[in-house]
Structure 1
Amino acid sequence: MESQWLFNLLLVLQFIMLVALAVWGLRLSKRVKRMQQMHQEADLNQKKQVQVLASGSIGMGRRLVAIEKKLNIAVERQSELLSKEGNISYNRAMDLLEMGATVDDLVSKCGLIRAEAELISLLKKESRRNSDYH
């Protein structure tokens, strides 16, 4: 009888352990599902952040291209203005030489450097000589 009682006790203990393992397995399964859901949400959030950053980068790239175009246009206009101003000061220097101005006059009145003024003076003298011969 005692062996029967011991056998029944072991059987009940095994059943309790089996139920405890099943409950633990269910809890573990729920915890794993929650963690999977959290990882999926984190993945989704990261994908959204990457999309936001990518669209921001694209927008910044477009803005940089637009700014670069404007800068190139401004540089071209500045170059044109400088060349026009240079031509104006050279033309004025030629006119002043016609009126008998000196190299120092060209430097002070036209904003030329001394070497430019001397070169223009020499060119003017040379053109006078050539026109005198013809």
Structure 2
Amino acid sequence: MDSQWIFNFLLVFQFLVIVMLVVWLWRVQRRLNRIQDQQSEAELGQKKQVQVLASGSIGMGRRLVAIEKRLNMAVERQSEIISKEGSVSYNRAMELLEMGATVDDLVSKCGLIRAEAELISLLKKESRLNSQSSK
């Protein structure tokens, strides 16, 4: 009878161990499910943040392209203005040379640098010499 009692005790003990293992596995499974749900929520949050950042970057890129176009247009206009002003001052320098102005007069009245004024003066002298020699 002792062996029967030991056998029954071991059987009940095994049953209890199995029940405890099942309960423990069930708790672990629930904990894993909660962690997985939290990770899914975090992933969705990160995806939303990436979408917001991407749309912001796209908008900023478009604004930069528009600003770059405006800058290029402004640079072109500035170049045109400078070239128009430059040709006006060169024309004015030629007129002053015909009236007998000196290089210093060209520098002060036309806003040219000395090298430009000297070059225009030389060109004007050459054109006078060529026109006189052809006559």
Q: Given the two structures, how large is their TM-score scaled by the length of structure 2?
A: 0.91
User: Residue 126 of structure 1: CA displacement?
Assistant: 2.6
Residues 1:3 and 2:3 aligned together: yes
User: Residue 128 of structure 1: CA displacement?
Assistant: 2.9
Residues 1:46 and 2:46 aligned together: yes
User: Residue 54 of structure 1: CA displacement?
Assistant: 1.3
Distance 2:6 2:117 in 1: 124
Distance 1:29 1:118 in 2: 93
User: Residue 48 of structure 1: CA displacement?
Assistant: 1.1
Residues 1:69 and 2:66 aligned together: no
Q: Given the two structures, how large is their TM-score scaled by the length of structure 1?
A: 0.92
Point out where structure 2 has 5 or more consecutive residues left out of the alignment.
Answer: none
Distance 1:113 1:128 in 2: 23
Aligned to 1:119: 119
Aligned to 1:30: 30
User: Residue 109 of structure 1: CA displacement?
Assistant: 1.2
RMSD of the TM alignment (CA)?
A: 1.4
Distance 2:92 2:105 in 1: 11
State the one-letter code of the partner of 1:95.
Answer: E
Point out where structure 1 has 5 or more consecutive residues left out of the alignment.
Answer: none
Distance 1:98 1:42 in 2: 83
User: Residue 67 of structure 1: CA displacement?
Assistant: 1.2
CA deviation map 1:77-130 (0-9, x unaligned) = 111011011111111111211221111110111111112111111222233334
Distance 2:4 2:126 in 1: 137
- Identity among equivalent positions (%) equals 75
State the one-letter code of the partner of 2:35.
Answer: M
Distance 1:53 1:63 in 2: 15
User: Residue 68 of structure 1: CA displacement?
Assistant: 1.1
